[in-house]
Structure 1
Amino acid sequence: MPPALPFFDIQPQLATPIYRQVMEQVQRQVAGGQLRAGDELPSVRAVAERHAINPMTVSKAYSLLEAQGLLERRRGVGMVVAAGVPTAGGDADRLALLAPALESAAQQARELGIPPEAALAAFERLLHPDPKETP
């Protein structure tokens, strides 16, 4: 059963190209175990329509992931996570995928003059939100 849309969190305002956002999100979901071998990805058309982006952008991301061996095309089904792809990698593998976002956040904190302790406290709150504060 394909994952429910919205499957991707596309943020056009970021400096990261949209195709890279799609690729990195698939890589993280596979590494984190949310996607496993054989799981279907949403169609190019569904992703493009949902996020109002060019279908060629989604197709490029899927094709590059296919070239990396992470995805495979199945006739009549579409793109699926390739068989034999390890999921739920070790902590080091998953942290390596998180590193670019942390580097960006650290740079922004430095530019804003936020002390490291305050930035870490803000990150901790985001990791463990208080359920009483969420609607």
Structure 2
Amino acid sequence: GIRSPFRELGITKAQIRKLSAALGLPTANKPAMPCLATRIPYGNRITLEKIKMIEAAEEFIHSLGLQVIRVRHHEISTGALARLETGSVELVQLCAEPSLFKQIADKLLEIGYAHVCLDMQGYRMGSLHESFEKVSKK
């Protein structure tokens, strides 16, 4: 299993932030960001290559000013697919500015994705559970 040293010691996120600030660490006020492995569906192998692709994609998109974004990494028969989940503001912006989406898609193709799509349902915490739960209920 995966160990969580801070949790095992009973240290909370608030305590970590307070200690980080006291030590003058630049990450003290950094927004929470779930592990990039959460962008890969259950049952799929997590590799350093996939993590690096996801990280590069999200960093590029954030550099364009889009804040709420998750790059969901899927393996399909024709290559890696980047499914972009965004907040409602970002979704409207990407739909209103096709050139912005094209800029993102071009960069993600350069990173190594074979396909890039925008999830019109937007960002949903735990969205990778959805297909897993549907299969489990059958």
| TM-score by shorter chain over 0.5 | no
TM category (shorter chain) comes to: under 0.3
> By percentage of residues, which structure has more strand?
2
TM-score by length of 2: 0.27
